[in-house]
Amino acid sequence: MQSIRSVLLTAAAIAITLAALVFTASLAVALAGIAAVVAVGSAIAARLNGKPAHAHARVNPTGERREMRIWNDGRGTIIDL
């Protein structure tokens, strides 16, 4: 009787361990899928955004350069060329 109980407890422990392994693996696959979707969405969003343009100070017809003024109004940086 003791031997049968030991076998049953061992089988139950193995079954619980396998169930925990399958559950953990399924969570890992789900998290990897969510991370992949977020990464693809981020890549697509980055492609849709325009590239920033470099600011250059204009030169007057006389050849003198104007002073560039830069300030932040709280909503973003403003560059006055």
Q: What is the pLDDT of residues 8-59, one digit of tens each?
A: 999 999 999 999 999 999 999 999 999 999 999 999 988 887 777 676 666 6
Q: What is the pTM of this model?
A: 0.49
Structural domain spans, the chain? 1-80
Q: How many angstroms separate the CA atoms of 41 and 28, rounded?
A: 20
Tell me the backbone φ, ψ of residue 57, rounded to 5 degrees.
-75, 135
Q: Which two tokens stand for residue 21?
A: 């392994």
